[in-house]
Amino acid sequence: MPATLVQKIIARAAGKEAVRPGEIVTCQVDLALLLDSGGPRRIWPRLKELGVGVWDPDKIVLMTDHFVPAVDAQSAAILKLTREFAKEFRIKNFFDMQGIGHVVLMEQGLLQPGMFACGGDSHSTNGGAFGCYMAGFGAIEMTGVVVTGEIWMQVPETIRVNWDGKFPNGVVAKDISLHLCRELGMDNAFRVVEFGGNTISNMDMMERTVLTNMAAELGAETGLIEPDEITLESIRAAGVEPAVDALEWCSDPGAHYLATHEFNASTLAPQVAAPHKPSNTGPADDYCDVQIDQAYIGACVGAKLSDLHMVAEVLKGRKVSKGTRLLVAPSSNKAMAVAAEDGTLATIVAAGATLLPTGCGACAGLGAGILADDEVCISSTNRNFQGRMGANSSQVYLGSPYTVAASAVAGRITDPRDML
């Protein structure tokens, strides 16, 4: 029978010729991503209690990104424990304060089409842009993965989402993701969203990861994009040779989809999600009367190098509005270094922005940039749940880096096309 991409990946990982949606299988894990937030500090005590170690240190990738740099003694202790875990179990792929894990994983060329990977964070779905299965799991499930190298799962159904057409100026992948949160809802459990169409095939890898990353906001198991030459070039740019069968990982013609949705990118306007759900979305112009206290560029989904370039494009020759603060936390050290070299950071700082260290930061309610009571923020992050970025009474709107930067200049939520 024709199979979808996720069925093919799971079948290989389960050692079976084929699998069907709803079937429960046990999969061999190719890569396990642990982060300081829910990794060693949650898993190591269980390993000690069980008297066991890790199944394969070469298949474990460990990152510090949530609690960096340490802002209090508790954060410092978490980071110390994470570093001790890496040393104890000889984790060679340990990236300490190098950036947000999902972005660093891509920069290091650690993902290949057809892989079956697990991550200890809900936005591990970011990796699906490389044509591999990568989903987020809790600390208990990740403990099992770390010990055995296996995990059981129910084979998910696949929803196919096709986008065709050319973006209008100022519209990007983030606008697609916010629009889909409204159109498809946030309750797509036991489903995978497979993205296709010429809009997607013309995106670079940084933009594609926005779509798979925010499959988590759709409530899906993960998001997937079939690999192509752009995928392979991204892997090569990281200094790694793509797998010989990389381009073979695709859905078969005639494969069964639970649903197929067709969208036209040329008619999409910049989108904004109002508090307190990513699905509470509409065109940016619907919110043009909303005054803001803070604009935040950050997170795995909203502060990559391409995102920083969008921000600089808006800010060049302009200033952040008086009474509004613009905070920028690049997603990785590499992104920050390149942005410094090409003049992007100089443009951003000259406009009046404050540059923050790399890391998850205020997106996860940690470090610098959290909000006080009743403050209003527009952010390039992926979630705006109540209290996520600070006080429960604060309000967070979501938008693309273009929209966030334009709003910082105007002092209110703004359609960025007026500044491009």
220 residue type, one letter = A
Residue 2: predicted pLDDT: 96
Judgement on whether residues 316 and 178 belong to the same structural domain of the protein: no
Residue 262: predicted pLDDT: 98
Residue 27: predicted pLDDT: 98
Averaged over 339-361, what is the pLDDT?
97
Judgement on whether residues 242 and 356 belong to the same structural domain of the protein: no
pLDDT of 409 > 90? The answer is yes
Residue 128: predicted pLDDT: 98
Residue 243: predicted pLDDT: 94
CA 7 → CA 105, 194, 256, distances in Å?
24, 12, 11
Mean pLDDT rounded to a whole number for the chain: 97
pLDDT of 367 > 90? The answer is no
Residue 332: predicted pLDDT: 97
Judgement on whether residues 196 and 344 belong to the same structural domain of the protein: no
Judgement on whether residues 145 and 37 belong to the same structural domain of the protein: yes
pLDDT of 301 > 90? The answer is yes
> Do residues 208 and 200 touch, judged by C-beta distance below 8 A?
yes
Judgement on whether residues 335 and 284 belong to the same structural domain of the protein: yes
Domain CATH code at residue 363: 3.30.499.10
Q: What percent of the chain has pLDDT over 70?
A: 100
pLDDT of 414 > 90? The answer is yes
Select from 219, 234, 264 the last residue of a domain. 264
Judgement on whether residues 308 and 235 belong to the same structural domain of the protein: no
Domain that holds residue 348: 273-419
Looking at the chain, how many residues does it have? 420
Judgement on whether residues 138 and 86 belong to the same structural domain of the protein: yes
pLDDT in tens, 110-168: 999 999 999 999 999 999 999 999 999 999 999 999 999 999 999 999 999 999 999 99
Q: Structurally, how many domains does the chain consist of?
A: 2
Judgement on whether residues 293 and 255 belong to the same structural domain of the protein: no
Residue 114: predicted pLDDT: 97
pLDDT of 322 > 90? The answer is yes
pLDDT in tens, 74-101: 999 999 999 999 999 999 999 999 999 9
Judgement on whether residues 315 and 241 belong to the same structural domain of the protein: no
How would residue 41 be classed by pLDDT, with cut points 50, 70 and 90? Answer: very high
Judgement on whether residues 72 and 211 belong to the same structural domain of the protein: yes
Select from 264, 290, 325 the last residue of a domain. 264
pLDDT in tens, 368-377: 999 999 999 9
Judgement on whether residues 248 and 285 belong to the same structural domain of the protein: no
**Positive or negative torsion for Cα 277, 208, 164, 243:** negative
Residue 119: predicted pLDDT: 97
